[in-house]
């Protein structure tokens, strides 16, 4: 089976774990046409009732940024909200193909307009993901993404790296992912037993202490929906993660991998937190687009995720910087500002938004992961059972 067919099979069978008769929402760039066709074929072969491709295109989006206002770009559309609700009601699954074909397409554009998104639609889609829609996001190789990594559009070389990261080189990729998922899930159970109240990340340029809400739960190795169907929201995934108390983050982070925000590459990023809030941002490139995103809504400056990743990672084994957050975040420990995960606290999915906020969970229309791990990173956790070392010099030691 060719890599592209293995890719599509894994996305459908493990990513969303498609069940016969379900509908599929496929969100993809026009640059991913060949891969999108393979995913559609795999979905129908697995029994999909329908597949609805939703296309995006960087140059088309640039036209919108250049010729419309931030208000227009942020406006929600009633028909789009109704469509999301219908997908949720039908119990569809959602597949998103990532892999920026041109990270420079927004160079010179107004950062506030580049960062603008229909916030209400984004929030509705997140709610649907938490309540009825199984989903997965995967990186789709393309020439532009390959050029960003290698300096040339060597898609074959990129496929080899993606194949390593996604375990497509295993005899049975589906079985390999089920085994890795079990390991990550076991780590999550270990952390739950510790009943931690805070975690601290220390490394070169980083010293961040983050508080955790009462009843916090750690997730690793995928999720299980209300019907008991397991799925992997991200492929690849090497993390164990949870959501912090939005009011309790103190210190500074040095982001160790480039990150793409609103289509722009951000490098050399440093972020300072006080009282849970981002208070200062600096970067060698892209600081303006970060600041614009942090001003998107009141919750954007607060953390929504803390994550643990050690050196035993297929992304790290690939030996390259992917310039893609989905991959690079799984090469090292990371945090994310923006939306929290309702399932991060016991009973959180059944709570109202006010109840979640009362526990310290954050609400926002954005969720941006930034990597702070790698060689030298140490993570400790503290709680009623004392302080324990979780990761030492990028190695899981708990």
Is residue 361 a contact partner of residue 344, using CB atoms and an 8 Å limit?
yes
Domains of the chain: which residue ranges? 3-396
In this prediction, residue 1 carries a pLDDT of: 57
In this prediction, residue 2 carries a pLDDT of: 86
Q: Architecture of 3-396 per CATH?
A: 3-Layer(aba) Sandwich (3.40)
Could you tell me which residues are beta bridge partners of residue 55?
28
Peptide bond into 18 cis (omega under 30): no
Per-residue pLDDT of the chain (398 residues; tens, 9 = 90+): 589 999 999 999 999 999 999 999 999 999 999 999 999 999 999 999 999 999 999 999 999 999 999 999 999 999 999 999 999 999 999 999 998 888 788 888 998 898 888 988 988 888 888 777 999 999 999 999 999 899 999 999 999 999 999 999 999 999 999 999 999 999 999 999 999 999 999 999 999 999 999 889 999 999 889 889 999 999 999 999 999 999 999 999 999 988 888 778 899 999 999 999 999 999 999 999 999 999 999 999 999 999 999 988 888 778 788 888 889 889 899 999 999 999 999 888 889 989 999 999 999 989 999 999 988 999 999 998 899 999 999 999 99
Q: Among all chains, which residue has been given the structure tokens 């159970």? A: 189
* Long-range own/partner contacts, residues 102-105 (CB < 8 A, 24 or more apart): 102/58, 102/59, 102/144, 103/144, 103/148, 103/260, 103/263, 103/264, 103/265, 103/323, 104/265, 105/58, 105/59, 105/61, 105/62, 105/263
Which residues are CB-neighbours of 82 under 8 A, at least 6 positions away? Answer: none
């Amino acid at each position: 089976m060719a890599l592209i067919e293995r890719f599509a099979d894994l996305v459908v069978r493990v990513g969303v774990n498609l069940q016969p008769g379900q509908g599929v929402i496929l969100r993809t760039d026009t640059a991913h046409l060949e891969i999108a066709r393979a995913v559609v074929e795999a979905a129908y072969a697995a029994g999909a009732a329908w597949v609805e491709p939703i296309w995006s295109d960087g140059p088309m989006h640039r036209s919108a940024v250049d010729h419309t206002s931030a208000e227009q770009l942020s406006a929600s559309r009633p028909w789009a909200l109704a469509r999301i609700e219908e997908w949720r009601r039908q119990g569809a699954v959602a597949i998103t193909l990532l892999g920026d074909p041109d990270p420079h397409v927004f160079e010179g554009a107004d950062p506030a307009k580049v960062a603008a998104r229909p916030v209400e639609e984004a929030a509705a889609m997140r709610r649907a993901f938490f309540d009825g829609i199984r989903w997965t996001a995967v990186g789709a190789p393309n020439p532009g993404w390959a050029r960003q990594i290698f300096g040339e559009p060597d898609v074959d070389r990129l496929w080899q790296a993606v194949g390593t990261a996604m375990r497509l080189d295993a005899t049975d990729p589906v079985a390999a992912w089920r085994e890795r998922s079990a390991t990550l899930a076991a780590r999550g159970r270990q952390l739950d037993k510790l009943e931690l109240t805070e975690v601290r990340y220390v490394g070169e340029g980083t010293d961040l202490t983050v508080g955790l809400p009462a009843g916090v739960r750690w997730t690793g190795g995928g999720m299980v929906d209300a019907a008991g169907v397991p799925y992997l929201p991200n492929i690849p995934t090497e993390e164990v993660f949870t959501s912090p108390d939005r009011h309790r983050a103190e210190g500074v982070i040095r982001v160790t991998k480039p990150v793409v925000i609103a289509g722009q590459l951000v490098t050399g990023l440093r972020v300072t937190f006080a009282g849970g809030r981002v208070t200062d941002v600096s970067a060698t490139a892209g600081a303006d687009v970060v600041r614009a995103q942090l001003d998107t809504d009141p919750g954007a400056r607060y953390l929504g995720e803390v994550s643990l990743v050690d050196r035993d990672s297929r992304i790290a084994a690939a030996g390259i910087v992917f310039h893609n957050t989905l991959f690079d975040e799984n090469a090292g420990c990371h945090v994310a500002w923006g939306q929290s995960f309702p399932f991060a606290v016991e009973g959180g999915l059944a709570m109202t938004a006010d109840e979640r906020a009362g526990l310290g969970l954050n609400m926002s229309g954005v969720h941006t992961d930034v990597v702070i791990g790698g060689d030298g990173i140490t993570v400790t956790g503290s709680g009623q059972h004392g302080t324990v070392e979780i990761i030492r010099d990028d190695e899981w030691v708990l």
